[in-house]
Structure 1
Amino acid sequence: MKIAICGVGVAGGYLLSRLKNEHEVVGFERMTEEKHDSICAWGASKNTMSELCNKANINFEDFVIHDGKNLYIDMNNMKQFNIKLKGLCTYDKIGLIHEMSKGCKVHYGVAPKLEELEADFDMIIDATG
């Protein structure tokens, strides 16, 4: 099956990594490769991300930047409090996306029209968030 994945963030990269061995998958990312950035979700559940990455034969530990222990909140009304964290981490999101999409065809800086995708692909997945 020929599959187009529109949006190469974590979800799109994950789909590329999982589907590339059984299907012809092509990623489309509207940002150029030089400006490719992922602006949200730099913090995530370490356990969940590890499980998902294992399915894609990727060691998530290689991308962990910081294991969260405490979240300090300072409110405008001068109240402060602390929340203990378990399993929250920050990670190299762009590095992980590149690892997930390694070996896949990805077109950066393009936003193809639906009609073009429908003519060329059996399935179109919107992974734009």
Structure 2
Amino acid sequence: MIKIFGLGVAGSYLLARLHGSGFSVTGFDVKRDNYYIPCGYATNINKIKNFMDKINIDIDEYLLSYSDIIEISGNNFKPIYLNSRGLVTIDKNRLEKDIIEGNKKNQKIYPEIIIDATGVSRYYLGRPKDDELYYTKEYLVKKSFKDGFYFYFLKNGSGYTWSFPLNGKYHIGIGSKNINDVRNFSIKSYEKVVSRMIRLKPAFPVSINNIIGTGEAIGSVSPITGEGIVPSLETAEILFKNISKYNDLDEIKRHYDIDIKRYMSRFYKLNKLVNNVQNDKILNIENILALRAASKSLNDFGIDFRLSMVIRHFI
């Protein structure tokens, strides 16, 4: 028996994949029904579609808003306008609920394998000593100061604020390493407000004894964009393939660890890049080598980002 704790995007997807392939699997989540999920809801439609097709979900039914032109601004630079490569917002609450629907969900079975998909809490694996968490505050509002997708990067690369359209409403928020940035960010008129931590560094080990982690529990969030939907699906798919391929738990863990380290290598580079910027260590070889990974992360998010365009902007 495989038991998945945490049915966010990674846990619910893995549940559907395993259940659809005939595995004895069940899942449990502490969230109450109709819980408002704190998340930017933004992802790349072209990336997420590949995963949803595997579990017979039509992602088009969950789309809220498409991006056209994306505005990126910051503390020390004028706005840059970039084209979209698939950046959208989705109804993540309904998507996760529908993925779980029809798959086994129970909390009374003692598992042979526990999947820790509990997100930032990393409840079963435990937090690593070098864990790196950021603070967020997020609002659901009826009106925004921007009609489209907007990012504003804070001073010294500590984080960014954003505004994303949600088909008639907006999701506005801030994520920062500095708690004071979050405390000073406020909106007077809103429907809902939530706050949480977000993990912006790969978290190891990814397994202990019979516990295996996936999703944000192991740090599947881009340190550049803060996007974790597609990266979480990718880690869940990697775990699914290893569970499907190997019958022995130790073999599953060993190969999964190798695959995740390979996949997460770019997130380590991006995390180091962000830390260097925050510590005013901007002009060094390490950062230059990480620019390609940063560009890929933005493109994977659905933003048509080219280094040449940005360089021209600042010259």
| TM-score, reference length from structure 1 | 0.79
CA apart distance, 1:50: 0.5
Counterpart of 1:126 in structure 2 is 116
Q: Match of 2:44, as an amino acid?
A: S
Partner deviation per Cα, 1:11-62 (whole Å, 9 max, x = no partner): 1110111111312322121222242x33225111111111100000111111
Letter in 2 for 1:17: A
Distance 1:55 1:78 in 2: 42
Please tell me whether Structure 1 or Structure 2 has the larger radius of gyration of its CA atoms.
2
Opposite residue 80 of structure 2, the aligned amino acid is F
Q: Name the count of aligned residue pairs.
A: 118
The equivalent of 1:24 in structure 2 is 24
Higher helix content, 1 or 2: 2
Contiguous gaps of at least 5 residues in structure 2: 119-215, 217-315
Partner of 1:44: 43
Larger relative contact order, structure 1 or 2 (CA cutoff 8 Å, min sep 6):
1
Question: Mind listing any 5+ residue stretches in structure 1 that lack a counterpart?
Answer: none
In the aligned structure 1, how far is the partner of 2:47 from the partner of 2:80? 27
1:61 equivalent in structure 2: 60
Contact 1:9-1:38 at 8 Å conserved across structures: no
Matches within 5 A, 1:97-116: 97-106=96-105
The structure 1 segments of at least 4 consecutive aligned residues displaced by more than 4 Å after TM superposition are none
CA RMSD of aligned residues (A): 2.2
Q: Which amino acid aligns with 1:23?
A: F
The sequence identity of aligned pairs, in percent, is 31
